[in-house]
Structure 1
Amino acid sequence: MKKSSPALAVLAATAALGLAASPATAGGRHHPPSPSPAPVAGEVTTVAEGLLGPLSFAVGRGGTLDVAQSFTTLLTRITDGGEPEVLATAPEGYSPGSVSRDRGATYYTVATGAGTNDPVANITLLQSVDRDGTIETIADISAYEFAENPDSINTYGFEEALPAECAAQLPEGIPASPYTGLPDSNPAASLPGRFGGTIVADAGMNALIQVSDDGDIATVAVLPPIPVTVPAGIGWPDCAVGLAYNAEPVPTDVERGPDGALYVTSLPGSPEGGPTGSVFRIDPATLEPELVATGFVGATGLAVNDNGDIFVAELFANRISVVPSGSDTPQLFLEANQPAALELRGDALYASVDALAGLPTGPDPEAPPAAEPPAEPAPATGSIIRIELDDNCGGYHHHHGGADRHSGDGVRGDESEE
């Protein structure tokens, strides 16, 4: 069976459920101060077009964009007013992703075989390309996952084994009994920081890891199972509807907050559907995950500004929400079609939109179905937009670039523009 719904492999499958744009609901918050006013979206401009699967990108000096076109093999650089440039090409059958920038280099992952639980088929690598175009493989993330399997400490699925008659009616791949985390790697996001190293959020691993500049890997944190109640209308049998189910958390993005903590979006695995996406805070002292807010419909990207406001892309609700500093209640920031990744730079928030446009379907019966086009006319490709922010946002925070690097202890370092 598949371990989870890896964020990059099953986005279309979840989108095909036709999830409604349900209002986001409140969750927990770490010692919340008095809430500040919510940031307000200003002028919106399109800064890049014609992209296929812009599920991860980084913003550099002057608004230069390094974009992983995850429905292709291309890692692309787009400069203001310039022609797109291919920075790197993933091997055939691999997808690029998890883009971040630091000290003139671009860090990214290439991945294949997510969800197979097969160490031969499932290969994920962290690579870099420098100013001279030299590509280096830094670490084999999948090798670490199959050796260590960090989320084997978690128990997922039904709280008790289903009776045989009910179990026989479950969709293929859904376990009828509780199970512990299985080895699977599918990197979704990366974050550079001080002291050397890169934080990677792995959607298959259900964990954050630190990869040193020398390629050593250590687990930073494992996200907890997400308790849900099996809803009706998702193709599961009536005998399972209403039962408690511990879904896999599936981290999709990671950023550092002004408090030194790591913030992570979670797109839970089966049963898919409903506003079960969350944001977790990884305490810099204990490295324990703590719920910040929940109720997001497909939380696939986030950004945190110096004021502590948290922006969240809700891919399946066609909106970007914001959790104001001191609050645990998300609010609508901007309606946007299929937003996937977010980055802050200067006085603007960048977002990839129409992120599932052009999703290949192929003949593989295990491949996720294409999403229903949410717009008329349906977009053929994805884009990146720039959203001006008002003064309340307090300037940029974390732009996937900087002069320092992160050791994995969650402590925020001073960052400077490239």
Structure 2
Amino acid sequence: MNKSFVAAAASAALTLGMGIAPAQAHDRHESSVPTVEETRVIAEGLVSPLRLAVGDGRSIDVAQSFAGTVSRIARDGNIETLDAMEGYFAGSVSRSGRTTYYTMTKGAGAGIPAENESLLKSRDRHGNIRTIANIAAYEQEANPDQETRYGFRDLDQACLALQTNLGPRASYTGQQDSNPIATVPFRDHVLVADAGANAIFRVDRWGNVSTVAVLPAIPVTVTEEIAAAAGMDNCAVGATYYLEPVPTDLELGHRKMLHVSSLPGGPEDPSLGALGSVFTVNPWSGETRQTVTGLVSPTGLAIDQRGNLYVAELFANRISVVPRGASGASVLYEANQPAEVELKDGSTLYATTDVLGPENLPPAGKIIKIEIHKRGH
């Protein structure tokens, strides 16, 4: 039930390929599904490249997350370190002009708020680094999902008392935890998806943090199989368990609406089914709608001018596409452990792959470039 989409990487990797349903798009949208024309590797040997941002001049900024490093890959392949913080997790990276925005986090998910620090930082074209805000400080003060109940909500007390294997996760409210995992510069502020807070935040140029939206909990009906896998007492079969929504990426789309991918904070492999989804969030009102369902571990998101969504499904080993107006996905490209996708010039998709390489082996993370053909063009 951890809140970080990378926290269960080791255990989830053991179950790759088990119970993964094929992605499906609605038939009426099949004719508009893009296809892949060409792919090539443009960088490799990276450490957990969970996030990337494509800038002007075709340079690419990448968060080598577990190394606590944000790097820039030039057109000639040279790699420059933009910032490195030992003991921190480089959770996000984004670009606005020649300024890079990124986050550095420590203590996420540890259950000790005082030791949780999540810094939104920027680096300008002259190399000047600025810490804009400590988002964890805001989360500790506001904790916007503190009134949301996760776990069981309506289970009778006798049955709830039998769920000893779940411990405090049997029924609980949102805890203080910050793990910013995606950023998008928007006008005079930066929008942040926080996987620990289950919320979208806004940070202005002065470092003031406010809440845009709290994502709704994800309801799951407990089956006999789920009860056995989670160690639940059988009295819970048929009841509803509410998972944390865990935002993993966000993109601005048509009319500046936010599209947010969500990986429920339960088992992050597909053992409970394809529970990942995409929400649409109004950045002004905070109104939130679930618009895409049936995804497996969606960790990266991109959107083109026609409204097609591209999704990296990490533990399904695929990049999928959701045609505009559809609520389900089709497979665009099969890849090993893709974590991030970013679109450039409407038809070039950049993605990170092999992001959770085997232990005790050299880093194997890659950035690939995918040329897309859009039907009807």
TM over 0.5: yes
Quote how far apart the aligned CAs of 1:379 are: 8.4
- Separation in structure 2 between the aligned mates of residue 278 and residue 289 of structure 1, nearest angstrom: 13
Is the 8 Å Cα contact of residues 24 and 330 (structure 2) preserved in structure 1? no
The one of 193, 208, 216 aligned to 2:186: 193
Is the 8 Å Cα contact of residues 7 and 188 (structure 1) preserved in structure 2? no
- Separation in structure 1 between the aligned mates of residue 304 and residue 175 of structure 2, nearest angstrom: 35
Cα distance change on mapping 1:189 and 1:251 into 2, 3 Å: same
The one of 381, 392, 410 aligned to 2:364: 381
Quote how far apart the aligned CAs of 1:242 are: 4.5
After superposition, the CA RMSD in angstroms is 2.5
Is the 8 Å Cα contact of residues 8 and 186 (structure 1) preserved in structure 2? no
Structure 2 residue 256 is matched with structure 1 residue 263: no
Which residue matches 1:278?
277
Query: How many residues in Structure 1 have an aligned counterpart in Structure 2?
Result: 367
Which residue matches 1:356?
356
Q: Any idea what the Cα deviations from partners look like across 1:122-158, whole Å, max 9, x if unmatched?
A: 1111011112221110001000000000112321101
Is the 8 Å Cα contact of residues 25 and 294 (structure 1) preserved in structure 2? no
Opposite residue 245 of structure 2, the aligned amino acid is P
Quote how far apart the aligned CAs of 1:238 are: 4.7
Which residue matches 2:111?
117
Q: Secondary structure at 2:77's aligned position in 1?
A: coil
Is the 8 Å Cα contact of residues 162 and 176 (structure 1) preserved in structure 2? no
- Separation in structure 2 between the aligned mates of residue 261 and residue 173 of structure 1, nearest angstrom: 38
Q: Secondary structure at 2:367's aligned position in 1?
A: strand
Is the 8 Å Cα contact of residues 36 and 326 (structure 1) preserved in structure 2? no
Cα distance change on mapping 1:284 and 1:132 into 2, 3 Å: closer
Quote how far apart the aligned CAs of 1:8 are: 3.4
Task: With the length of structure 1 as denominator, give the TM-score of the two structures.
Answer: 0.81
Structure 2 residue 181 is matched with structure 1 residue 181: no
Quote how far apart the aligned CAs of 1:392 are: 4.3
- Separation in structure 1 between the aligned mates of residue 163 and residue 364 of structure 2, nearest angstrom: 38
* More off after superposition, 337-346 vs 35-44: 35-44
Q: Any idea what the Cα deviations from partners look like across 1:308-341, whole Å, max 9, x if unmatched?
A: 0011111011011111012122111111111101
Which residue matches 2:343?
344
Cα distance change on mapping 1:169 and 1:285 into 2, 3 Å: closer
Q: Secondary structure at 1:325's aligned position in 2?
A: coil
Point out the structure with the larger strand share: 2
Structure 2 residue 3 is matched with structure 1 residue 5: yes
Opposite residue 22 of structure 2, the aligned amino acid is P
- Separation in structure 2 between the aligned mates of residue 176 and residue 21 of structure 1, nearest angstrom: 26
Structure 2 residue 63 is matched with structure 1 residue 68: yes
- Separation in structure 2 between the aligned mates of residue 215 and residue 393 of structure 1, nearest angstrom: 45
* More off after superposition, 121-130 vs 160-169: 160-169
Quote how far apart the aligned CAs of 1:236 are: 1.9
Cα distance change on mapping 1:259 and 1:43 into 2, 3 Å: same
Cα distance change on mapping 1:20 and 1:26 into 2, 3 Å: same
- Separation in structure 1 between the aligned mates of residue 259 and residue 296 of structure 2, nearest angstrom: 17
More RCO (CA 8 Å, sep 6+) = 1
Task: With the length of structure 2 as denominator, give the TM-score of the two structures.
Answer: 0.90
* More off after superposition, 228-237 vs 63-72: 228-237
Which residue matches 2:214?
222
Cα distance change on mapping 1:167 and 1:52 into 2, 3 Å: farther
Cα distance change on mapping 1:277 and 1:174 into 2, 3 Å: farther
Quote how far apart the aligned CAs of 1:9 are: 2.8
- Separation in structure 2 between the aligned mates of residue 386 and residue 150 of structure 1, nearest angstrom: 38
Quote how far apart the aligned CAs of 1:359 are: 5.7
Cα distance change on mapping 1:99 and 1:197 into 2, 3 Å: same
Cα distance change on mapping 1:173 and 1:383 into 2, 3 Å: farther
Is the 8 Å Cα contact of residues 51 and 382 (structure 1) preserved in structure 2? yes
Q: Secondary structure at 1:384's aligned position in 2?
A: strand
Q: Secondary structure at 1:327's aligned position in 2?
A: coil
Is the 8 Å Cα contact of residues 313 and 320 (structure 1) preserved in structure 2? yes
* More off after superposition, 102-111 vs 140-149: 102-111
Quote how far apart the aligned CAs of 1:6 are: 1.6
Structure 2 residue 81 is matched with structure 1 residue 83: no
Quote how far apart the aligned CAs of 1:259 are: 3.1
Which residue matches 1:406?
none
Opposite residue 71 of structure 2, the aligned amino acid is T
Q: Secondary structure at 1:175's aligned position in 2?
A: helix
